[in-house]
Amino acid sequence: MSLYEILKKSLRYLFFLLLVNFLSFRDKNLTPSFSGKGFDLIFHFGKSS
């Protein structure tokens, strides 16, 4: 795996993490379950690529 691919994956990971955090703050739904949902989403997109 090249450095570029690693960087691309980590940037995508950070982007989804920020997106999930943004959505949860906007919905004012700060329950612990949102993090589990977010990580499932991130891993789903990470595996599909």
> What are the residue ranges spanned by the domains of the chain?
3-48
pLDDT of residue 20: 80
DSSP 32: T
pLDDT of residue 8: 92
**Structure-block tokens of residue 30:** 């700060």
pLDDT of residue 19: 83
pLDDT of residue 5: 92
Per-residue pLDDT of the chain (49 residues; tens, 9 = 90+): 799 999 999 999 999 888 887 776 665 555 545 555 556 665 666 665 5
DSSP 30: -
